[in-house]
Amino acid sequence: MARAINILTVSWDPTLAMNQPDFGDAQIRNIEYGKYVNSIHSITYAKKSLNLKNKKLSHNVFVYPTNSANQINFLWDAWKIAKNICLQNKIDLVLTQDPFLTGLVGTLVKKKFNCQLLIHFHGDFFDNKLWLREDWYNRLLLILGQKVVRQADAIRVMSQGIKDKLINFGLRENKIRVIPTPVDLQKFSLPVEKKQSRDKKIILSVGRLVIVKNIPLLIKAIEIVYKKRKDIILRIAGAGPEKDKIKKLTAGLDYIELLGAKDHDDLPKEYRNCDLFVLSSDSESFGKVLVEANACGKPVVATATTGAKEIVRDGYNGWLVPIGDAQAMADKILYLLNSPTEAERLGENGRQLMREKFSDNTEQIVKFWEDIIEQKLPR
């Protein structure tokens, strides 16, 4: 039954406002959330060049792209849109994607319109030297985030590891809730199709082509693997600002395929067709793609990020390797390729583990919203 509450969200995901043949993953999640509340108003960053229009995803879920000149302008653009929404609707809760610029917009809304503020941590920011080294301005973002996060009435994190970091920072444990991003396990848990005989072993990686995913590390690892096994092919699904760099790195490497962005409904087939899945990130607060791959019965090899350590039990449903270590990653990939029975065992363990740990948590998320609004969180 829908609760009589109105939600305002502030995010960085322009796909919310894009026209697609089918709804994307983020759009589907928002439509699903809308079934439990009175209304959802989602403000999202979008570049001015995209010229996106306001979008109605369902009868009570609305998206407002900022069409900003740059990310700094986004702050002002999002605030203007938020004010207009709040003047026309009684917003009960504003939730933001991060504790930085979206969190600052949320803080302004909270103070101006007297609503509750929920800040999400979809990344590993605090006490993370690798993230700080990615860009000089991350140090400025960290200073901002450390101030903004103290304004939150509640915080949602994707893993226990991130919660522990925030508690060590000095935030109260009772205002932090661990609720991973919902995963449609049914979509990824269909029976495995009988493998057709093929000459190549398929290694799959799925994710945005951004610095933090460290695709160059994956490429180095695969180059090492290829020296030992010529019967492999790496398929990388995803798009992003690092696309041109990655194209240059893979030029002439006919054992690496760049698939570009894939519709979320097409991903289960990609997972089921691969022999193993690899994630090479420098930082992950969760690692949803690891859950999806395991749900399809595939073993995984992942760098030992905060998020991956919540999902992968070393030697049970996959393998963890040190962050930045291409040789260690190559060794585990080779181990799984050379041990098909063991790879199958890890994949089946993963399928069972994902069913136990990551069932649909949409109602849990909405109940958390309700508790925040009614100020029912433990003191």
Looking at the fold, whether 73 and 215 belong to one and the same domain comes out as: no
The proportion of the chain whose per-residue pLDDT surpasses 90, expressed as a percent, equals 80
Residue 378 located in a structural domain: no
pLDDT of residue 193: 56
Phi-psi region of 338 (alpha: psi -120 to 50; beta: other; left: phi over 0): alpha
Looking at the fold, whether 94 and 162 belong to one and the same domain comes out as: yes
Nearest to 258 by CA among 205, 201, 199: 205
Q: Note the pLDDT tens digit of each residue in 231-280.
A: 999 999 999 889 999 999 999 999 999 999 888 888 999 999 999 999 99
In terms of residue numbers, what domain contains 256?
Answer: 185-357
Residue 46 located in a structural domain: yes
Q: Share the mean pLDDT of the chain.
A: 93
Looking at the fold, whether 79 and 98 belong to one and the same domain comes out as: yes
* pLDDT grade for 19, boundaries at 50, 70 and 90: confident
Residue 1 located in a structural domain: no
Average pLDDT over residues 95-119: 98
* Model pTM above 0.85: no
253 to 220, 257, 289: CA distances (angstroms): 12, 9, 25
Looking at the fold, whether 263 and 289 belong to one and the same domain comes out as: yes
Residue 379 located in a structural domain: no
| CATH at 267 | 3.40.50.2000
Q: Residue 238 CB: number of other CB atoms within 10 A?
A: 21
Lowest mean pLDDT among 60-74, 131-145, 178-192, 318-332: 178-192
Residue 11 located in a structural domain: yes
Looking at the fold, whether 160 and 298 belong to one and the same domain comes out as: no
**Type and span of the H or E element at 258:** strand 256-260
Q: Which residue has the tokens 């994630």?
A: 279
Residue 208 located in a structural domain: yes
pLDDT of residue 181: 82
Looking at the fold, whether 13 and 156 belong to one and the same domain comes out as: yes
Average pLDDT over residues 55-75: 96
Looking at the fold, whether 10 and 132 belong to one and the same domain comes out as: yes
Nearest to 298 by CA among 267, 322, 324: 267
Looking at the fold, whether 26 and 146 belong to one and the same domain comes out as: yes
Asked if the model's pLDDT at residue 309 lies above 60, the reply is: yes
CA torsion sign, 239 to 240 to 244 to 248? negative
Check: CB of residue 361 under 8 Å from CB of residue 182: yes
At residue 267, the 3 state secondary structure works out as helix
Asked if the model's pLDDT at residue 223 lies above 70, the reply is: yes
pLDDT of residue 265: 82
pLDDT of residue 121: 96
In degrees, rounded to 5, the angle at the alpha carbon of residue 195 between the alpha carbons of residues 193 and 199 is 155
Asked if the model's pLDDT at residue 214 lies above 60, the reply is: yes
Nearest to 202 by CA among 224, 236, 227, 233: 233
Looking at the fold, whether 169 and 193 belong to one and the same domain comes out as: no
Residue 42 located in a structural domain: yes
Looking at the fold, whether 31 and 172 belong to one and the same domain comes out as: yes
What distance in Å separates the CA atoms of residue 347 and residue 293, rounded to the nearest whole number? 9
φ, ψ of residue 306 to 5 degrees: the values are: -55, -45
Could you give the strand order of the β-sheet that contains 318-321, starting from the edge strand earlier in sequence? 256-260, 232-237, 201-206, 276-279, 300-303, 318-321
Count of domains forming the chain? 2
Highest mean pLDDT among 13-27, 102-116, 122-136: 102-116
pLDDT of residue 21: 52
Looking at the fold, whether 190 and 146 belong to one and the same domain comes out as: no
Asked if the model's pLDDT at residue 366 lies above 70, the reply is: yes
Q: Which residue has the tokens 């350590």?
A: 309
* pLDDT grade for 182, boundaries at 50, 70 and 90: confident
Residue 340 located in a structural domain: yes
Asked if the model's pLDDT at residue 195 lies above 60, the reply is: no
Check: CB of residue 53 under 8 Å from CB of residue 73: no
pLDDT of residue 49: 94
Looking at the fold, whether 69 and 169 belong to one and the same domain comes out as: yes
Average pLDDT over residues 34-56: 96
